[in-house]
Amino acid sequence: MLSNMAVLRAIAIVPAILLVVTLIVGCVIFHRKATKNKSDLARLKYQIDEQKRRIDDLSEQEHKIAKIRHDYKNHISVGLSLLKSGETVEAQQYLSKYSNQELSKIYVYVDTSNDFINAVINDKFRLCAEKGITPEAEISFVEQKVDDIDLCSVLFNLLDNAIEACEKLDKERRIKLVMFQHKAYLVVRVINTADDSMIEKNTELITTKTDKKNHGMGTKIVSEIARKYNGFFNTEQKCGSFCAEIWLKNV
């Protein structure tokens, strides 16, 4: 039989054991959460770096397209001059060299004072045309204080999400981009036709692409940028449409 003193000692040890166990479990949970957060941050950084590279590539592409358009106008001018001079055969031969030019690939949907914005929007709108989606843009802000890379990241992600949603539709597919200044804020709004049932099933805006680890970071990136500029990011579902809107302090 244990003495009363031994029993008391055993009882006194129990809380200490429980405390140690609790601390160990807490450390394990904290480590797992820290590992997950570190992994999420790494993926987020990868996405941002990848988008920066894409922006640089698109900007270079936009310059090339501008040169093609300029050259094309010059070729048309030469062809018209030959026709006016009565040199019909020569005009036909000259213009035939450029008749296979795919104008749809160099179509310019927007032409702002910012080449980076032009590159991203025109690239995404050309992709819309290829997928049977009707794009539309209303851009009215004058002065931009928001960093080019951040604004392009917003456009990348919001337009990608809208295109992904439209691809699932059998009905009319439309995307409208609106950018304007409201007092101290630059507002970027993307509205796309949507299937209400699909939105109800995916209220968290989780990507439906197979590579979820790399494609599910878009809304996180947009939310981070909103916080960076003391703004906010909202989404709204209306009858047959979906609207994503971000407000960025632009002063």
Task: Write the pLDDT tens digit of every residue in 156-172.
Answer: 999 999 999 999 998 89
Q: Average the pLDDT over 41-64 and give the result.
A: 64
Residue 152 φ/ψ, nearest 5 degrees:
-65, -35
The domain locations on the chain are: 4-249
If one compares 54 and 99, the residue with the highest pLDDT of the two is 54
**Are the C-beta atoms of residues 122 and 62 closer than 8 Å to each other?**
yes
- Residues above pLDDT 90, as percent of the chain: 32
Query: DSSP H helical segments within 85-114, as ranges?
Result: 88-96
214 band by pLDDT with thresholds 50, 70 and 90: very low
User: pLDDT digit string (tens) for 171-193?
Assistant: 899 999 999 999 999 999 999 99
Q: Average the pLDDT over 59-87 and give the result.
A: 68
User: pLDDT digit string (tens) for 81-124?
Assistant: 777 777 787 777 766 666 555 444 567 789 888 888 888 898 89
Q: What is the pLDDT of residue 190?
A: 97
Domain 4-249 has CATH 3.30.565.10: yes
Q: What is the pLDDT of residue 25?
A: 67
Mean pLDDT over each residue of the chain, to the nearest integer: 77
Q: Average the pLDDT over 26-48 and give the result.
A: 63
pTM of the predicted protein model: 0.63
Least confident segment among 50-59, 173-182, 202-211, 225-234: 202-211
Q: What is the pLDDT of residue 52?
A: 67
SS (H, E, C) 137-161: EEECCCCCCCCHHHHHHHHHHHHHH
Query: CA-to-CA distance for 177 and 145, rounded, in angstroms?
Result: 19
Burial 44-65 (b: 16+ CB within 10 A, else e): eeebbeebeebbeebbeebeeb
Q: Average the pLDDT over 32-58 and give the result.
A: 63
For the cut 60, the answer to whether the pLDDT of residue 199 exceeds it is no
For the cut 60, the answer to whether the pLDDT of residue 153 exceeds it is yes
Query: CA-to-CA distance for 55 and 114, rounded, in angstroms?
Result: 12
26 band by pLDDT with thresholds 50, 70 and 90: low
Q: Average the pLDDT over 34-59 and give the result.
A: 63
User: pLDDT digit string (tens) for 226-249?
Assistant: 999 999 999 998 888 999 999 999
Q: What is the pLDDT of residue 72?
A: 61
